[in-house]
Structure 1
């Protein structure tokens, strides 16, 4: 009986692909979203950029497809933009028969399928998600749709299974790799179809200052030239171990920087609600002596607003890569608390030393050491900013490569 059921399902899958392959009229782009397009501001930035760029290039109409049970909320449905939230199981598991039957018909209506790769394809978030997502792309290839993976990374040596899937996918799918370290990892195992690119989020347009809350603007105006951005997350500091001790070290160092150097701090969450709650707790720790030396970005603003805020800071210290990318994208320097090999490749693009990456082995053991480290990094802010600004145009060009051949690139104004 099980054999009969499995055979029937395979016939149904094949028939679905065959019928979809006969479609003659194809228009626009099917966009497979990043997994958490709202609560995670990095994912939100990636999707916003893809929609902005594809619509700017006239590549539509667009169908936005969720790839998890997290909805898309910050983008509206329009006559040229639709949202589907009923097929996300296709990207989570191969045990999604209903979705596998529906998907070929949907994707075959489009000329292109693009998947926002980021870091969800390299098995760091589970082998099954990696397998299922790549299978979805293969279904699109079977029905004759042009496919590509936007700006993704491989945060360690690829496993044998990942190598095999990438080798098969790269025969037909354009694989845009967002950092040179990931590119070398894939190149070393002869992965076909890989192209050097940049992270999509560098192309995010920042919000206008007028879109920020008045309290944030007032704090920035009062402490202009003395603002430091700070993002701390339990995901990272929990991985580092001795979390409470490390939080106390950072808090004491920041209090000294406020007292001795007059610095003030923007506490910038990246996720909601957990990111806000974590930094609110840190703020109580930071200001236990009563003086107001920080402001928390609460409620958590859109990723465009966070990019504008990062640009107001002299220097940003962050656990989250995409806040770092927002900072670099505004021409400002950052120091990272890295995890999963995510920061190193971005630093390489800007010619920045890994001295600016403070992993668990380099994390200061005392508040005195942290104070000196932060003061030293902040003292280099002007020279680091010049370095970032000199490399930013070439990085932006790499990011635009993701869209090569999609729609028409409008003429850019001189300067």
Structure 2
């Protein structure tokens, strides 16, 4: 098995060398970069999901935060998203934004070279893709594009990302060969420590760029009216998100139906004991993500168990979700960017942990890891204990979050720094 994986890894590296690295090297030698205006206005962004950049609300939150922040610095800023196919997506606070195909094969490589020469800077949506968890070939191409960009004198920045304990070998191979002029931002201290130890190059500490996304100004009348009605009844509104990705180990052990039934029973007990009301919030609307299926099933089971103070709401804009999280007392979720939306609104969270992502996030806010839970713990009465404990400490945790938030937002702003970059190989 290890031998087979090693052969796969070597094939990924060799294919990237032939389809991306060598063609880019030849293209650098064959053309000169057009002279652009001195004021940076044109920004290219590599999507976290190049196949469908708008499919994840977390990715949309990062797009929105980056673009709105850059446009605040320069109202004339223009953005191009790099993906696999030509389309237009809507970014909260920005509007329609073009996605240009500059990814697959040698054709994508040539398209990227032509595109980047027309831009002042390149940004990469780091998030959780750069350890190779979602594809090592993806990381290989990202690194090649960043190296090509700075070699042309165009600054390249990897936006704050996390880095797990077991990165893919081709990802480490590529990252260790990053040009020193590429800016590497890591979104938490444990990830930074792992990255420096495993990859062997320097990087900078920041916080996730999504902390900079403002909440929506327009209300969600029906949902906000329900939250207000629950409070009038003396109930405390709590957000809940379930998804197949974070809960995969528990689903593998007992199946999705038994897991949802157990979670429903634990939530019912917590709801009765603490007079809670549950707002069920999907944060990824793709079918395979499981958010929608699991939450609709959860709503139905809770009602069958006689707990009526539950509402499923589907919202496809991350800034609107951030607005709602600010009206809750607690959020229970395994979605990283739903946790970020909650924390940046001052709302405490109980996080279902996976992929070594949450320890560092909690560290930013001096929050106890007692307010996290593993997927397997969700199968036991430990889930109820964790909910009750997080609920009991919600006021103290809110005060701690709000006191740390200015510092965390300042760390998130480090993603916006664009280094000067002279052409060099």
Q: Which TM-score band (shorter chain)?
A: 0.7 to 0.9
Q: Secondary structure at the match of 1:363?
A: helix
Task: Tell me how far 1:158 sits from its aligned partner.
Answer: 4.1
1:221 aligns with 2:231: no
**Corresponding residue for residue 338 of structure 1:** 353
Aligned to 1:280: 296
Matches for 1:235-384 after TM superposition, within 5 Å: 235-240=245-250, 241-242=253-254, 243-274=256-287, 275-289=291-305, 291-298=307-314, 300-366=315-381, 369-384=382-397
What do the CA deviations read for 1:153-192 (whole angstroms, capped 9, x no partner)?
1122445543332232151201011111110112224633
Q: Counterparts of 1:104-115 in structure 2 under 5 Å?
A: 104-115=113-124
Does the alignment pair 1:403 with 2:416?
yes
RMSD (CA atoms): 2.8
Cα shift at 1:335: 0.6
Give, in whole Å, the separation in 1 of the partners of 2:97 and 2:395: 44
Runs of 5+ in structure 1 lacking a partner? 1-5, 90-95, 408-415
The answer as to whether partners of 1:266 and 1:296 remain within 8 angstroms in 2 is yes
Give the aligned partner of residue 410 of structure 1.
Answer: none
1:198 equivalent in structure 2: 207
Seen in structure 2, the aligned counterparts of structure 1 residues 308 and 100 have a Cα distance that, compared at 3 Å, is same
Local SS of the residue matching 2:215: coil
Q: Separation in 2 of the partners of 1:98 and 1:63?
A: 22
Deviation (angstroms), 1:397: 0.5
- For 2:400, the equivalent position in structure 1 comes to 387
* Counterparts of residues 40-59 of structure 1 (less than 5 Å): 40-58=56-74
Report the counterpart of residue 412 of structure 1 in structure 2: none
Alpha-carbon distance between aligned partners in 1 of 2:282 and 2:92, rounded to the nearest angstrom = 24
1:75 to 2:91 alignment: yes
Kept in 2: contact 1:151–1:402 (CA 8 A):
yes
Partner in structure 2 of residue 156 of structure 1: 165
Match of 1:16 in 2: 27
Distance 1:362 1:135, change over 3 A: same
- Report the CA distance shift for 1:138/1:259 in structure 2 as closer, same or farther (over 3 A): same
Q: For the Cα contact (< 8 Å) 1:119–1:154, is it kept in 2? A: yes
Q: Measure how far apart 1:134 and its partner are.
A: 1.5
C-alpha distance in 2, partners of 1:181/1:8? 34
Determine the C-alpha separation between the residues in 2 that align with 1:375 and 1:77: 37
Which deviations, in whole Å up to 9, do the C-alpha atoms of 1:248-294 show, x marking residues without a partner?
22101222233333210100101114322321111111111455211
Q: Which residue of 1 aligns with 2:219?
A: 211
SS of alignment partner, residue 90 of structure 2: coil
- For 2:9, the equivalent position in structure 1 comes to none
TM-score normalised by structure 1 residue count: 0.86
Q: Whole-Å Cα distance in 1 between the matches of residues 68 and 86 of structure 2?
A: 21
- Cα 1:263/1:18, change in 2 over 3 Å: same
Q: Distance in 2 between matches of 1:41 and 1:233?
A: 13
**Structure 1 equivalent of residue 100 of structure 2:** 85
Runs of 4+ that moved beyond 6 A: 6-12
Rounded to whole Å, the distance in 2 between the matches of 1:281 and 1:294 is 12
Q: Is the 8 A contact 2:87 2:98 kept in 1?
A: no
String of CA shifts for 1:93-132, please: whole Å, max 9, x gaps.
Answer: xxx1112122212101222111111111111001111112
